Amino acid sequence: MTKSTIPPIRALVGAGLIVLFSLGSAVPLLVEQYKVHQHADPARNDQASFFEARMAGVRQALPLHGTIGFLTDVPESSGRSAVLYLTQYSLAPRVVADNTLLPLVIGNFFSSVPSPVLLEKMHLRPASDFGNGVVLYQRSGDR
């Protein structure tokens, strides 16, 4: 059986448009990602990588299982939830609960650590300071 072929010029124009579109779409993305790769350090540019490095010390110190509390100086308007989720990702399979009522509380601070008076009110005392604003607290009376 012989099938009719489409008019070559129209077919070629259509296919040519597809070729141009694919190049026009993929090449700028390649250039963009190449530039990002050249000028950025994933440990700084990528939030998750940044937190992985930041939480490495405390990850070693904590038991593999269990639930720990969470404290940060980042307000909700500046991305408090993101800090909580990134802390959870970095510390998994431990559960990070959004409160300070547990025996162990992880503090993740970026501009200032809580004052001793505030910690006293929350019945928290520093157990280990891992630097870069990462502090592990213990609830008073808990071991």
Q: Using CB under 8 A, list all residues that contact other proteins.
A: 1-3, 5-6, 8, 10-15, 17-19, 21-23, 25-30, 33-34, 36-37, 40, 42, 45-46, 48-49, 52, 64-65, 67, 81, 84-86, 88-89, 92-98
Q: Which is nearer to other proteins, 90 or 139 (CB)?
A: 90
Q: How far is the CB of 18 from other proteins (least distance, A)?
A: 6
CB of 126 to other proteins, least distance (A): 24
Tell which residue, 61, 125, 122, has the closest CA to residue 90: 61
Q: Which residues contact 109 (CB under 8 A, 6 or more apart)?
A: 72, 73, 133, 134, 135
**Minimum distance of other proteins from residue 95's CB (angstroms):** 5
Tell me the closest approach of the beta carbon of residue 47 to other proteins, in angstroms. 8
- Shorter beta-carbon distance to other proteins: residue 42 or 116: 42
CA dihedral 51, 52, 53, 55 (to 10 degrees): 80
Q: Which residue, 11 or 118, has its beta carbon nearer to other proteins?
A: 11
Instruction: Pick the closest to residue 63 from 24, 29, 104 (CA basis).
Output: 104
Query: Token digits for 143?
Result: 């071991």
Beta bridge partners of 136: 106, 128
